[in-house]
Chains A and B, each alone.
Chain A
Amino acid sequence: MTNPFENPDGTYFALVNDEGQYSLWPSWAEIPAGWTVAFGEDTRQACLDHIETNWTDMRPSSLIRAMGE
């Protein structure tokens, strides 16, 4: 069975949570609590490109704040 995150023909979302962390997510699946759609629905690659472009500091937001203090 193709893993739901590995379907080259599938459509996906780029989800983001309140820590600024991103997740690829198949568009047919229910969006888990705590996550919102940042991009998509679009192809897998387009979602990954969006994530590469926008998730530049991979530290969670709260850590960025804590380390900045």
Chain B
Amino acid sequence: MTPTGSITTSGTAAPALTGPVIPAAPAAPATGGPASQLEDILPLSPLQQGLYFHAVFDEAAPDVYTAQLVLELEGPLDAARLRDAAARLLARHPNLRASFRQRASGDPVQLVHRRVEVPWREVSGGDPDAVAAEERARRFDLARPPLLRFALVRLAPDRHRLVLTNHHILLDGWSTPLLAAEFLALYTGAEPPPAPPYKDYLAWLVRQDRAAAGAAWGRALDGLDGPTLVAPDLAGGPPADPGRVRAHLSEGLTDRLTTVLRSRSLTLNTAVQGAWALLLAQLTGRDDVVFGGTVSGRPAELPGVERMVGLFINTLPVRVRLRPDETLTGLLARIQAEQTDLLPHHHLGLAEIQRWHGSGALFDTMTVLENYPTDTAAAEVGDGLRLTGAGGSDATHYPLALAVVPGGRLSLRLDHRPDVFPRAEALRLLNRLTRLLKAVAADPDLPLARLDLLSADERALVGAEAVPGGTADAETGRDATLVSAFAEQAERTPDAEAVAGDGFSLTYAALNGRANRLAHLLAELGVGPETPVAVLLERSAEVVVATLAIAKAGGTYVPVHHGYPPERMSWVMADTGAPVLVTDREPGFAHGAAVVRLDLPGAAAGDDPGFVPEYDPHVRVHPGQLAYVIYTSGSTGTPKGVAVRHRDVVALAADRCWTGRHRRVLMHSPHAFDASTYEIWVPLLTGGTVVVAPPGELDPAALARLAHEHRLTALFITTALFNLVAEEDPGTFALLAEVLTGGEAASPAAMRRVRDACPDTVLGHVYGPTETTTYATYHAVSEVGEGAPPIGRAMDGMRAHVLDGFLRPVPPGAVGELYLSGAGLARGYLGRAGLTAERFTACPYGGRMYRTGDLARWTPEGELEYLGRADQQVKIRGFRIEPGEIEAVLARHPSVAQVSVLARDNRLVAYVVGVEERTAGGGREGAGDVPAAGTTAGGVVPEELRAFAGKTLPEYMVPQAVVVLDALPLTPNGKVDRAALPEPGVPASGRAPETPGEERFCRLFAEVLGLERVGADDGFFDLGGDSIAVIQLVSRARREGLEISPREVFARQTAEALARAGSPDDPDGPGDPDASTGREILLPLRRTGAAPPLFCVHPGAGLGWPYSGLLRRLGPDQPVYALQARVLSEPDYTAPSIEAMARDYLEQVRRVRPRGPYLLAGWSMGGLIAHAMAVELRESGEEVALLAVLDAYPGREGGPDERDVLPELLAAIGYRGSGEIDDVVAFVRDQGGRYATLDEQTLLAVYRNYRNGVKISQEYEPRCFDGDVLFVTAAHGREADSPTAADWKPYVTGTITDHAVACDHASMLNPGPAAQIAELLRKELR
């Protein structure tokens, strides 16, 4: 409710009030009976309301709205008369006798008391400042009038100091001198004419057109893109006592400024606001800023308003948009015009304006021009008493508040919250403001973009000087190439180890020879200067050989990632036009290139040195030639190839930061990502050794083994893996001389752990986009504070620039965008001239610069801090991703009308508005009613959309969740309001844990997954768990004495089920100890549920655990059993045929399900067996309600060699190591407890089973099943001649429905794909 006018108590009952000290309601008119203590009840003015809120917000903290006026008095003084004058002063001004209360409705009111005691004290001697401080420190209770007090300090018989302390809610700074003058006049016995009462003003307020004012403010703030906050985290915090710094302009400068302003009809207040806007824009990195501007608030139309005493001033939003081409004068004139238009609307309170604008806090800084009406200093009071000085204290709660006092020397005063802006920082700001005012005085017609806000010191610190000479990207050809630098190294240290790995080692001479042979072969195939050569290789020594060979042939290597879907592979081949592909496999995607197979006998890198010459091909290579092209995500829907030159890589390898420590460097990053540039070329060009990690992902244990066995000295790991190692075993790095990490927001806690555990290991924090050749800045982390450590300084030959929106360097502490120039700057994007010209631009300091799109700031020490992205680009698991590329792909799906993709908690979430929702009008609000991820809403099928994305995008770019909305929430500007997009619905029951066991697992889930709360029935994988998280969970649980294995987590998934493990009433668990091996043929994954059970047949490896990934999505009503190979429980068993297995399993099935309908599913070889079971069942007259075949093909199953047995098996038990059998056994044994069920013998049995499975699969001739088949294709890793669902046609009479899932064959039952498959099954079963 807003105030509606004054309410007198005469003849009316007082409104209900809250609070303990409410005076008794006046029972009778003031004229009769006991006089009411209340003279009036008034509403509050808008600013009073604001102050009231701040005062009651935290009643324990000091109230910063305590103001003070100090009068220095000389001459004879009669203290009693002065006290009497004070009493009369209060008698003349009813509003000074007000107290403030809240009504029951919550609206505050001011109660004007008839009589109040004047708080008066007299002090003789002592420190007058201490008295003033004491007076200030005593908090006013807004409910106890009056909210002012006097203290008279007697310094000497004829020297006094009067301290008037008041709450700001009574008086503003304008009123204080009026009050002082009246007070002193009263002392002399004069009776100045009474000023109009404050309630006249309150009544005037009521008459104003609030709607018109609101509309005007709404227009003034229209299109504002969020508030301007210098301390966004402080909102609502308790106010701290402010610090204060001051500066004075010289008289000359003040004069010049005044003259310039006057000649352009500009006011000083406008100049102050303009300067503050410029300062604020740079401080916050915005070009559209808002701050508070204090206005006198005294409406000219109110008679006698200039003499009124009370609170009138108002702090209102000043919104300033900055345009780089506008001059200072232009800006100031525009501000003045905009502010003049708002003059009639100054009466509205800030809270109301914010309501009109539909926003919360708009600003947290303010300016005020203190042009008070009278000069109170040095005045004759009378009777020999003289006022010789006046001072005061006044404050605000804002982190920054600027007060400007006009005068012969313009005075600037900056109040600052010292916890946000320490004194030194506040002084720097004030100096910057002074420079800005100087600029206004000196060159008012300067365009804003030319305005320099830096001091000389700051310029030096941020390196904002042009580089002499380097104006263009001159290709002088003087420096080295990869070929010449390597040749020199090979010459120097032919016998040194160049490449090493598990079971192999190559000297520089040997590597040189092999690379030369391949180079000759490539040259024969036509590879010459800058010929792109695609490379698709499993991690091995061949990667190094091929990379070097292509450089030697003069070509440009284009590494492609085996995780790309075929369509993307083909796209890259076409985009580069690579005529040659070097690989170690059947490519499996469309291309027109000549293929060099390094895995086939007779290849150039093979063992026959006579086949091709081993001498250097001596192709001339220019340092400016391209060394490689690496593709990164592109925001417009297609990837872009970053084209990097030889000299860029040579410069990286030559950086001084590698010296001494990077001798044996681990190569484990995918070749298609630019960390591999460091991993290969830094050691090779400095005489060190590239240590090749075995294929597959690296985990902490594997890392520790490699570090030890290969005497690693350095490696780079992604933030995610670094954090994991820091968590699990930070000492892993102790053997290394240096660990490099970076690329994503660093975890200070993880860095601290590693620093503490490995004090002798250098921790290098690196930063750099692919466009500047892997790393651009480097920081050796020593102390780790609360925040992420800096990314350091530019590397040798490179320069970093942090620029604002007007391309001006920003001062230390201010946020800007990071640009990089100098050595290592790539040529651009292959074949993308426009895109290159947008990102690799002219540099104000010479040459070209790369616009990173990263936000950064300089520390006072001149190091860079990374602050996130200026655009939407994200990094997930170290992969750089443009959500725009994913959006572009999803938008091509016919069901999608609008889409927005963003990263949440390291997961990609797609928000989709379907075509149907759009045409239906999208009446509902976007937020609020959100279907859970995975559900179907009006046309958009999330799983289908993910599968669609998986056809063209690599797995790491396929959104994990799809949320279907009626409409995307929009900002007032009409952009997608990404902050308002809802959390993806977690399909969680949210049931609170009921047992101590459940509680512990819920807590552990929450810790590992970074969630606040986890329900006892929530599935670990549904909450975002992945295989890394499983290992974290297991190790944390172990630390607490809870014995679980990764496979238990896979099998049980919920806190409830894990807590039940081992208890006698565990229905999922093995009832008797013998059956607890997890090796039984019929493994119950979920026994309970009303629906007919689903039987899932094991793949080639024989284990059924992976099917547990289907449980959650199938729902609690769906029992699930897995069939496992007999060989697991009977190691000597050999299955004679698929049919025999089918019959064997059917016997088991019939024990729990004697009659149909039957539901069957099988992955890989399990698909063949399930089909055979279905045929058997039909032949015996049973109903088969579902046959789901997961990427299995008749007659083709089991093609892969022995090595491929393991991924399936190991994924199932959470293992992610090298794949050597000994290592696997050790891992399994390390799992300990009763769940370490796989001994070496069993594993060997699994191998045998797999091999046998391959054999009998190939022999198997399926019969015909007279029903439908639900088929699921693994969309990734397919080759041109890969079998398809259609291969089943001869063996199925019904319909074969084919669904694609974005994964490769081996990872089909990983959490993501498994959830999709479960969703497909669930729909089928409904």
Contact = CB atoms under 8 A, between A and B. Distances in A.
A63 B622 contact: yes
Contacts of A2: 287, 805
Nearest to A25: B842
A41 B290 CA distance: 31
B324 A66 contact: no
A44 to B, nearest CB: 9
A18 B449 CA distance: 26
A2 B853 CA distance: 11
B828 A66 contact: no
Most chain B beta-carbon neighbours within 10 Å: one of A52, A55, A59: A59
Contacts of A22: 833, 836-837
A31 to B, nearest CB: 7
Contact of A67 (B622, B804, B836, B837): B622
B1008 to A, nearest CB: 38
B827 interface: yes
A56 to B, nearest CB: 7
A59 to B, nearest CB: 7
Contacts of B251: none
A32 B846 contact: yes
Contacts of A27: 325
Contacts of A23: 837, 840-842, 848
Contact of A28 (B449, B466, B473, B838): B449
B597 interface: no
Contacts of A4: 324, 805-807
B259 interface: no
Interface string B707-749: 0000000000000000000000000000000000000000000
A28 B5 CA distance: 53
B473 A19 contact: yes
Contacts of A28: 324-325, 447, 449
A30 B844 CA distance: 8
A33 B474 contact: no
A28 B82 CA distance: 64
B846 A62 contact: no
Given A21-B472, A30-B450, A5 B625 contact: no
B827 A59 contact: yes
B624 A33 contact: no
Most chain A beta-carbon neighbours within 10 Å: one of B475, B805, B847: B475
Contacts of B450: 30
A44 B806 CA distance: 17
B767 to A, nearest CB: 19
Interface in A1-40: 1-5, 14-15, 17-19, 21-35
Contacts of A56: 833
B474 A5 contact: no
Contacts of A49: 834
Contacts of B806: 4, 29
Binding site of B, secondary structure by majority: helix, strand, loop or mixed?
Answer: loop
Given A4-B805, A28-B449, A29-B449, A62 B838 contact: no
A67 B805 contact: no
B851 A3 contact: yes
B807 A26 contact: yes
Binding site of A, secondary structure by majority: helix, strand, loop or mixed?
Answer: loop
Given A51-B834, A55-B837, A66-B622, A1 B287 contact: yes
B225 to A, nearest CB: 9
B473 A60 contact: yes
A15 to B, nearest CB: 5
B890 to A, nearest CB: 23
Interface residues of B, number: 50
Nearest to B831: A58
Given A21-B473, A23-B842, A66-B477, A33 B466 contact: yes
Contacts of A58: 643, 827-828, 830-831, 833, 836
Contact of B841 (A18, A25, A48, A55): A25
Contact of A1 (B285, B325, B842): B285
B843 interface: yes
A19 B474 contact: yes
Contact of B851 (A5, A17, A30, A48): A5
A36 B475 CA distance: 19
A29 B841 CA distance: 13
A63 B286 contact: no
B625 A21 contact: no
B471 interface: yes
Most chain B beta-carbon neighbours within 10 Å: one of A3, A18, A31: A3
B1191 interface: no
B324 A1 contact: no
B817 interface: yes
A26 B781 CA distance: 38
Nearest to B626: A59
Contacts of B288: 1
Contact of B804 (A1, A15, A24): A1
Contact of B471 (A17, A30, A59): A17
Contact of A62 (B286, B475, B529, B851): B475
A29 B805 contact: no
A52 B449 contact: no
B594 interface: no
B1286 interface: no
Contacts of A24: 837-838, 841
Most chain B beta-carbon neighbours within 10 Å: one of A1, A2, A27, A29: A1
B624 A30 contact: no
Nearest to B806: A4
Contacts of B530: 59, 67
B870 interface: yes
Given A23-B848, A26-B324, A52-B833, A5 B472 contact: no
B851 A67 contact: no
Contacts of B286: 1
A50 B146 CA distance: 74
B449 A30 contact: yes
Interface in B471-499: 471-477
B475 A48 contact: no
Interface string B618-651: 0000101100000000000000000100000000
A54 B325 CA distance: 28
B364 to A, nearest CB: 18
Nearest to A35: B842
B356 to A, nearest CB: 25
A15 B807 contact: no
B837 A63 contact: no
B870 A3 contact: yes
A51 B833 contact: yes
Most chain B beta-carbon neighbours within 10 Å: one of A33, A34, A49, A63: A63
Contacts of A21: 472-473, 840, 848
B805 A3 contact: yes
A34 to B, nearest CB: 3
Given A1-B805, A22-B833, A62-B474, A32 B844 contact: yes
16 contacts: A1-B286, A5-B838, A15-B842, A22-B837, A26-B807, A28-B325, A28-B449, A32-B844, A32-B845, A49-B834, A52-B833, A55-B836, A55-B837, A59-B530, A60-B474, A62-B475
- 10 closest A-B pairs by CB: A34-B471, A28-B325, A55-B833, A48-B834, A1-B805, A62-B475, A23-B842, A63-B624, A63-B475, A23-B841
Given A22-B836, A25-B842, A62-B476, 9 more contacts: A5-B838, A19-B475, A21-B473, A29-B449, A34-B471, A34-B846, A34-B847, A58-B827, A58-B828
